Structure 1
Amino acid sequence: MDNRPFLRACQNLGLEYQHKKNLPRAIELFEENLLYNTNDNQGIRYLLLECYLELKDYTKFKTLLDRHKDDYSVEFLYGRVIYDLIKSEGKKTKMLLNQAIKCNKFIPEELAKEKHIKPAPYRIPGEPHFDAGTPIGSIQEAYNYWERNKIFLNQKRIRDFFKNLKN
């Protein structure tokens, strides 16, 4: 509890570096944050995955995936699919994809698209003017996943893989 303000400041500075595409510095800050907050109740591991993916640092990307084998978030489940597709020539891609689809079935369709259109915000029935965030397993979550990782996920190989799933 005593270092929470420092951890938030460290995270925000890392996010600023990530936004400005100074990914090595962002990674340095995120990794330092994890040294102080080993429970990672801030979700720093998700930010690291994004940075490693964008830099195509597959070694660190895979190490982080392996370190969090029990993480069943969109980032880690689809991260395993993407890693297998890129580095393992698709040996386990279909099996990993079946697991990932259980978390969000809309992501394969989003990744197959050539043109991405942001979906309308999720609304609670009866509350037409209240943006209720991003529900797990939603179309909004699928779009947000693509948006955060679009530099990497726009590769023809990845898009073609997901396009071929429809066929």
Structure 2
Amino acid sequence: MNLLKRGVEMGSEELGETIFKEDKGHFWGLIETRPFMRAKSNYAFALRKSGNTQEAIKHYEELLELNPMDNQGVRYELIEAYLATKSIKKAKDLLKKYPEDSTDNLYNLALIEYMEHGNTVKLKKYLKEAKKHNPFVGDYLSGKKKLPSTLPEYYGWGDENEAIVYAAKFKDVWTEEPALLKIL
């Protein structure tokens, strides 16, 4: 992890302060910034996996400031970190900023609704939509089906492999809400 941190520091030094001010918002469009962006993303990921979620969040948020179009898909890692730390408002804002009808977003909307308000009509609506998009997720989150030891190499929207990938990322957060799992 120290090498990743050093890579981010060296990249920042090499690029210089000016580029961070002048090109904030379209950083990814500059080819010379991409190695830095990749290093920073990898460093944030390593921080998250080592349990330093708050520090990882800081780096992910900085990446989105530099590149709001999120060509790297940082938002998917960030939402996981937000939900793990119960940063519900930030998670909700992130989903609003990057709306999409994906399994991740649909199930996360339901999770957020439950964490904020409990068992509501809106929760039932979100779960219905999420299940319609991918009916396999519930079996993996509830433990009815066991997650494989390795993640699938590919997945398609709405297929079982996508459900496995989602459950592997978010099962810990859902497990903290046993009443929601029963509703699911």
If the TM-score is normalised by the length of the shorter chain, which range does it land in? 0.7 to 0.9
RMSD: 2.0
Matched-pair identity in %? 30
CA deviations on 1:39-86 (whole Å, 9 max, x unpaired) are 001111111100011111112111212222x32222211110111122
Aligned partner of 2:169 in structure 1 is 148
Q: Is the 8 A contact 1:104 1:138 kept in 2?
A: yes
Q: Which has the higher helix share?
A: 2
Query: Take 2:90 and 2:145, find their aligned partners in 1: how far apart are those partners?
Result: 30
List alignment gaps of at least 5 residues for structure 2.
1-30
For residue 3 of structure 1, give the secondary structure of its aligned residue in structure 2: helix
**1:61-72 equivalence runs, <5 A:** 61-68=91-98, 70-72=99-101
Determine which structure has more spread, i.e. the larger CA radius of gyration. 2
Aligned partner of 2:142 in structure 1 is 112
For residue 51 of structure 1, give the secondary structure of its aligned residue in structure 2: helix
Query: TM-score, length-normalised on structure 1?
Result: 0.81
Query: Take 1:43 and 1:18, find their aligned partners in 2: how far apart are those partners?
Result: 15
Q: Which amino acid aligns with 2:163?
A: A
Instruction: Specify whether residues 21 and 115 from structure 1 end up closer, same or farther in structure 2 by C-alpha distance, changes over 3 A only.
Output: farther
Aligned partner of 1:6 in structure 2 is 36
List alignment gaps of at least 5 residues for structure 1.
123-130, 163-167
Alignment pair present for 1:78 and 2:107: yes
Q: Which amino acid aligns with 2:109?
A: R
Alignment pair present for 1:48 and 2:78: yes
User: Displacement of 1:103 after TM fit?
Assistant: 2.6
Query: TM-score, length-normalised on structure 2?
Result: 0.74
Alignment pair present for 1:161 and 2:183: yes
